[in-house]
């Protein structure tokens, strides 16, 4: 009875604590209702510490109950309080991350060497003064003393300089390990952020002048440039809204948005934007979801009805590579005009602060012009009428400023509204002239636009003036920046740009980069330049030779090491590095496919050519890849090794989508490059010896590269490609007179030294290596043997677990079944240190496997035999060892004791597939 009473008391105490926490949450929420405020700038919460399967589920249930009990009022009021309530509940449940205080840095104090340097400089300065006043005899002594002090000063300065350099290297290494991508950006000259030093009053005055519009309420006058357009054939659909918002954990958000949709009134919290004096502001996530669905429907409405000409405007239009397509067509027109010595006028225009200065009444005119439904217009007008923003800095926060003109960049519906307004100006100017024709006979538009960046292309200067005059008139009626693009100069060629790219590569390589920075920092930056410019393949090959030189030095391998070993993906040892030549070819093929398969008909028919020299052509590579893919589809899916039918997925060319076909073509281009590397490795007599190995391949990952010591990486690479300083290699390199082994006098190849020297065998060197590997293997098996495992039971019949709509299936983790679970009471003997005796309770024999594991209770025995042959002799060694222990295995089976046997490794750590499979078992 006392125990029952104690348990009831504990339950009551826990119940009261839970009620107390919920009461605290309700009090905080009621305060938010009395005086709602934004939650921007609040300290973050450590959500990563929560258990995603249990604690978050409980938090969602508690939050749903609190919202149902506390929220009251209109839908707009509930939506405004949703963020504050969610934050307070999560804050009480998970806590907050404490903010770090900026501690003042202590003043730097001179170390021992720096104090000694200052003292020596004072003494030398004193001796210099005494030298002027000393006699002839005294000057000789002062000279000798000054020279000794200067030598001491130089020596101490050199030691201090080495110490400071070592500290900088350690600090750089720590920064790289902490955040490799950020460290790479700083090395490659990424633009750095600044600090706002203006006062609060100056910032507020600037913001007020930038976003105020005195003519906001004035209606725009009629414009003759706006021609009548056809009525829409496809209505504006919003069916997708419910499907997207219904994916939330509860229907509470959907119910609130349904009311807001029917009323057409936007909540106040959706019309407030926060920023750190940047163009991208922080807005309500619920509002972004709502307007994202609406923006997607409006974009489909504009494109399906032909109101947006994708040949002219590609900005924020889904499914178009606008930057690449515009650049490719423009490059083609310039090259054709240059070859024919014709006339071509190109004007690049960029409206000053177009995003921040587009009038709201122009957006209203565009909504009416394109027949947007009135309920949608009402919501957009309600949103733009009261939108406000403010900026935050480290010292102050500005007041809320109404946005009377311009759009907020972080808003999801702003891009389509901006395009609609700009389309009015562009459409009127496009009717004043015709664009140039390509050699293929395709008439190109006179204006190409990407948001507010315009390119006017006309055959003559007079036509360009007509278009500019109309653009000026339309811009007045409605009221070049460096980017991802391409540079043009007066030569109208890419020679200077290619030369600058090569110089930039050399400047990057001068710094102390590592292989990871090359792969993830330098190579992606370089690929854009190689894609847009007409770079010859020979130039790219020269760049790759420079990269290979530095990669060999960083990996600690000799200059004679073949480049195949750096980039091959089907070799015996594979590094996580990419070839610049391969990436260049893939990028050019991708660019050619973008032009050929563009959704824009004018771009497809423009005949844009991807030039890369006479040595290699992207169009030829694409044709070869497509021919190879069609041939593979005819052959079917061949089985490799012991794979069964249907084991591997086979993508058929005829049943693939356009996007899948593009991926298959690019993969096939990579396969053709890999075949070339494979063929080259077969031609190599010395460094291609690994092609005769029938062993599993080894892939080195970045984590393994960071974990291994540099000398181990270097030895592994040189051992596989036979570039170690063996007597034969030293003789080949001119470093030794004869190629013979110093122990036995045989030819000192790597195979001879590692597994073929008779003197090394008699001296026990191979036995020592064998025992070292065996000791590691025995230690792992001993740890596994000591673990407690449940007895292997017969599995029950599996039942079907039904999953309700909107819920996730429950995944039960299952432990891997292994041989040790088949019995209990395992014992182990290892042939190390003393002579191994086979268990007499099982069998009497003189054979001595390296490791024996047996269980008399379960009548099981496991035999392990380790050998370290040369890679080419692994199969022969396996057959020899299997033949040696075949009779022993059969005798054990005759006594009713099954005995699996695992055989062999090799001298560099590669293993045969039987050992790999047995180790997993």
Convert 561-608 into a string of H (helix), E (strand) and C (coil): CCCHHHHCCCCCEECCCCCHHHHHHHHHHHHHHHHHCCCCHHHHCCCC
pLDDT digits (tens, 9 = 90+) for 812-841: 666 566 777 777 888 888 988 777 888 888
Its domain, for residue 858, covers 765-790+816-920
Q: Cβ contacts of residue 701 below 8 Å, gap of 6+? A: 576
pLDDT at 182 over 70: yes
How far is residue 135 CA from its own chain's centroid? 74
Q: What is the DSSP letter of 725?
A: -
Q: How far apart are CA 828 and CA 850, in angstroms?
A: 11
For residue 32, what pLDDT is reported? 43
* 403 and 526, same domain (yes or no): no
**711 within domain boundaries:** no
Give the H or E element holding residue 829: strand 827-830
pLDDT at 149 over 80: yes
Give the H or E element holding residue 904: none
**Confidence band of 193 (pLDDT split at 50, 70, 90):** low
Beta pairing, strands 401-402 & 447-450: unpaired
For the ranges 116-120, 160-164, 357-361, which has the lowest average pLDDT?
357-361
What are the Cα distances from residue 669, in Å, to 91, 513, 625? Answer: 53, 29, 6
**230 within domain boundaries:** no
* 155 and 68, same domain (yes or no): no
pLDDT at 15 over 60: no
What are the Cα distances from residue 364, in Å, to 30, 418, 452? Answer: 39, 11, 18
* 602 and 676, same domain (yes or no): yes
Alpha helices by DSSP H, 599-698: 601-604, 618-635, 658-683
* 472 and 521, same domain (yes or no): no
pTM passes above 0.85: no
**708 within domain boundaries:** no
CA-nearest of 721, 89, 682, 600 to 310 is 600
pLDDT digits (tens, 9 = 90+) for 255-295: 788 788 788 788 888 888 876 655 567 788 888 888 888 88
CA-nearest of 897, 788, 780 to 839 is 897
Q: What is the DSSP letter of 871?
A: G
Q: Cβ contacts of residue 456 below 8 Å, gap of 6+? A: 345, 346, 347, 348, 349, 446, 447, 464, 467, 468, 471
* 430 and 463, same domain (yes or no): yes
Beta pairing, strands 901-903 & 827-830: unpaired
Q: How far apart are CA 731 and CA 739, in angstroms?
A: 5
- Give the three-state DSSP class for 450: strand
pLDDT at 19 over 70: no
Q: How many domains does the chain have?
A: 6
Alpha helices by DSSP H, 847-906: 874-894
pLDDT at 389 over 70: yes
pLDDT at 460 over 80: yes
**Confidence band of 18 (pLDDT split at 50, 70, 90):** very low
For residue 567, what pLDDT is reported? 93
- Give the three-state DSSP class for 265: coil
Q: How far apart are CA 90 and CA 92, in angstroms?
A: 5
- Give the three-state DSSP class for 652: coil
**Region 623-644 average pLDDT:** 84
What are the Cα distances from residue 623, in Å, to 271, 309, 594, 620? Answer: 53, 31, 15, 5
- Highest-confidence segment of 77-86, 120-129, 524-533: 120-129
Chain-wide mean pLDDT for the chain?
A: 78
pLDDT at 669 over 90: yes
For residue 8, what pLDDT is reported? 38
pLDDT digits (tens, 9 = 90+) for 65-98: 877 777 777 777 887 777 778 878 877 777 777 7
First-residue to last-residue Cα distance in the chain: 53
**716 within domain boundaries:** no
pLDDT at 25 over 80: no
- Highest-confidence segment of 17-26, 421-430, 468-477, 720-729: 720-729
* 671 and 570, same domain (yes or no): yes
Q: How far apart are CA 336 and CA 438, in angstroms?
A: 8
CA-nearest of 843, 856, 857 to 891 is 843
For residue 909, what pLDDT is reported? 60
**809 within domain boundaries:** no
**195 within domain boundaries:** no
* 754 and 772, same domain (yes or no): no
**Confidence band of 663 (pLDDT split at 50, 70, 90):** very high
Backbone angles phi, psi at 319, to 5 degrees: 90, 10
What are the Cα distances from residue 216, in Å, to 357, 359, 429, 798? Answer: 12, 7, 25, 69
Q: Cβ contacts of residue 163 below 8 Å, gap of 6+? A: 113
How far is residue 168 CA from its own chain's centroid? 28
> 522 near 513, Cβ under 8 Å?
yes
Q: What is the DSSP letter of 740?
A: B
How far is residue 106 CA from its own chain's centroid? 39
Per-residue DSSP letters for 121-155?
A: HHHHHHHHHHHHHS-HHHHHHHHHHHHHHHHHHHH
* 78 and 153, same domain (yes or no): no
Q: How far apart are CA 834 and CA 818, in angstroms?
A: 29
**638 within domain boundaries:** no
> 283 near 263, Cβ under 8 Å?
no
> 287 near 270, Cβ under 8 Å?
yes
**876 within domain boundaries:** yes
For residue 261, what pLDDT is reported? 79
Q: How far apart are CA 77 and CA 81, in angstroms?
A: 6
Better pLDDT: 236 or 759: 759
Q: Which residues of 521-551 are buried (b: 16+ CB within 10 A; e: fewer)?
A: bbbebbbebbbbbbbbbebbeebbeebbebb
* 507 and 465, same domain (yes or no): no
* 474 and 531, same domain (yes or no): no
**Confidence band of 190 (pLDDT split at 50, 70, 90):** low
- Give the three-state DSSP class for 321: coil
Give the H or E element holding residue 57: helix 55-70
* 257 and 382, same domain (yes or no): yes
Q: How far apart are CA 398 and CA 200, in angstroms?
A: 7
**Region 857-876 average pLDDT:** 83
Q: How far apart are CA 883 and CA 881, in angstroms?
A: 5
* 399 and 450, same domain (yes or no): yes
pLDDT at 798 over 70: no
**Domain ends where: 421, 446, 478?**
478
Q: How far apart are CA 217 and CA 364, in angstroms?
A: 11
Better pLDDT: 29 or 470: 470
């Amino acid at each position: 009875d006392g125990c029952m009473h104690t348990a009831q008391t504990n339950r009551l105490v826990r119940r009261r604590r839970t009620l107390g926490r919920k009461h605290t949450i309700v009090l905080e929420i009621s305060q938010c209702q009395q005086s709602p405020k934004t939650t921007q700038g609040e300290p973050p919460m450590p959500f990563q510490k929560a258990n995603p399967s249990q604690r978050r589920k409980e938090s969602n249930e508690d939050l749903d109950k609190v919202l149902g009990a506390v929220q009251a009022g209109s839908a707009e009021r509930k939506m405004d309080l949703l963020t504050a309530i969610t934050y307070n509940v999560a804050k009480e449940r998970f806590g907050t991350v404490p903010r770090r205080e900026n501690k003042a840095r202590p003043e730097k104090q001179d170390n021992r060497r720096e104090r000694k340097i200052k003292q020596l400089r004072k003494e030398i300065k004193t001796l210099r003064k005494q030298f002027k006043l000393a006699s002839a005899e005294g000057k000789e002594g002062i000279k000798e003393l000054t020279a000794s002090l200067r030598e001491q000063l130089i020596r101490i300065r050199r030691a201090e300089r080495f110490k400071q350099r070592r500290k900088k290297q350690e600090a750089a290494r720590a920064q790289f390990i902490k955040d490799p991508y950020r460290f790479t950006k700083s090395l490659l000259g990424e633009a750095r952020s600044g600090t706002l030093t203006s006062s609060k009053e100056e910032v507020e005055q600037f913001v007020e002048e930038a976003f105020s519009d005195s003519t906001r309420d004035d209606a725009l006058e009629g414009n003759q440039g706006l021609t009548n357009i056809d009525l829409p054939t496809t209505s504006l659909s919003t069916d997708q809204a419910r499907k997207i918002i219904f994916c939330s954990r509860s229907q509470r958000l959907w119910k609130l948005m349904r009311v807001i949709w029917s009323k057409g009134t936007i909540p106040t919290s959706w019309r407030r934007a926060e920023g750190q004096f940047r163009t991208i502001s922080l807005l309500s996530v619920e509002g972004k979801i709502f307007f994202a669905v609406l923006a997607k429907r409006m974009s489909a409405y504009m494109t399906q009805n032909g109101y947006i000409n994708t040949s002219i405007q590609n900005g924020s239009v889904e499914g178009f590579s606008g930057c690449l397509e515009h650049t490719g067509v423009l490059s083609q027109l310039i090259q054709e005009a240059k070859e024919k010595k014709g006339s071509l006028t190109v004007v690049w225009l960029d409206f000053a602060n177009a995003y921040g200065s587009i009038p709201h009444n122009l957006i209203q005119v565009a909504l009416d012009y394109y027949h947007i439904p009135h309920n949608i217009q009402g919501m957009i007008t309600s949103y733009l009428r009261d939108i406000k923003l403010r900026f935050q800095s480290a010292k102050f926060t500005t007041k809320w400023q109404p946005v009377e003109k311009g759009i907020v960049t972080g808003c999801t519906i702003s891009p389509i509204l901006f395009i609609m307004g700009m389309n009015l100006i562009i459409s009127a100017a496009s009717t004043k002239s015709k664009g140039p024709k390509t050699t293929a006979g395709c008439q190109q538009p006179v204006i190409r636009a990407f948001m507010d960046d315009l390119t006017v292309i006309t055959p003559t200067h007079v036509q360009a003036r007509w278009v500019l005059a109309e653009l000026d008139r339309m811009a007045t009626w409605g009221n070049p920046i460096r980017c991802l693009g391409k540079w043009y100069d007066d030569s109208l060629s890419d020679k200077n740009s290619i030369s600058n790219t090569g110089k930039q590569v050399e400047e990057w390589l001068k710094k102390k980069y590592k292989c990871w920075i090359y792969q993830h920092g330098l190579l992606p930056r370089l690929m854009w330049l190689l894609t847009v410019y007409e770079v010859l393949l020979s130039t790219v090959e020269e760049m790759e030779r420079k990269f290979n030189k530095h990669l060999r030095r960083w990996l600690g391998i000799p200059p004679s090491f073949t480049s195949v070993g750096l980039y091959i993906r089907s070799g015996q040892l594979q590094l996580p590095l990419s070839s610049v030549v391969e990436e260049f070819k893939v990028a050019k093929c991708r660019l050619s496919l973008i032009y050929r398969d563009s959704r824009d008909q004018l771009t497809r028919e423009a005949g844009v050519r991807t030039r890369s020299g006479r040595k290699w052509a992207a169009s030829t590579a694409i044709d070869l890849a497509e021919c190879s893919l069609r041939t593979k589809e005819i052959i079917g899916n061949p089985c490799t090794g012991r794979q069964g039918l249907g084991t591997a997925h086979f993508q058929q060319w005829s049943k693939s989508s356009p996007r899948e076909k593009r991926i298959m073509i690019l993969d096939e281009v990579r396969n053709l490059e890999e075949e070339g590397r494979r063929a080259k490795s077969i031609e190599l007599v010395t460094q291609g010896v690994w092609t005769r190995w029938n062993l599993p391949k080894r892939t080195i990952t970045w984590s393994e590269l960071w974990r291994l010591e540099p000398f181990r990486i270097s030895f592994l690479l040189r051992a596989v490609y036979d570039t170690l300083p063996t007597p034969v290699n030293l003789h080949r390199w001119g470093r030794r007179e004869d190629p013979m082994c110093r122990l036995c006098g045989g030819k000192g190849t790597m195979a001879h030294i590692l597994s073929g020297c008779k003197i090394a065998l008699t001296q026990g060197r191979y036995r020592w290596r064998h025992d070292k590997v065996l000791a590691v293997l025995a230690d792992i098996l001993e740890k596994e043997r000591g673990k407690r495992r449940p007895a292997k039971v017969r599995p029950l019949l599996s039942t079907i677990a039904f999953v309700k709509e909107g819920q996730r299936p429950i995944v039960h983790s299952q432990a891997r079944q292994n041989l040790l679970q088949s019995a209990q009471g395992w014992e182990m003997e290892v042939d190390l240190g003393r002579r191994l005796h086979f268990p007499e309770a099982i069998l009497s024999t003189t054979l001595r496997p390296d490791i024996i594991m047996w269980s008399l209770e379960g009548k099981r025995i496991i035999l392990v035999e380790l050998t370290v042959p040369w890679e080419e002799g692994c199969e022969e060694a396996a057959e020899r060892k299997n033949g040696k222990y075949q009779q022993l295995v059969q005798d054990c089976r005759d006594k009713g004791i099954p005995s699996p046997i695992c055989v062999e490794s090799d001298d560099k750590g590669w293993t045969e597939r039987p050992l790999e499979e047995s180790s997993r078992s």
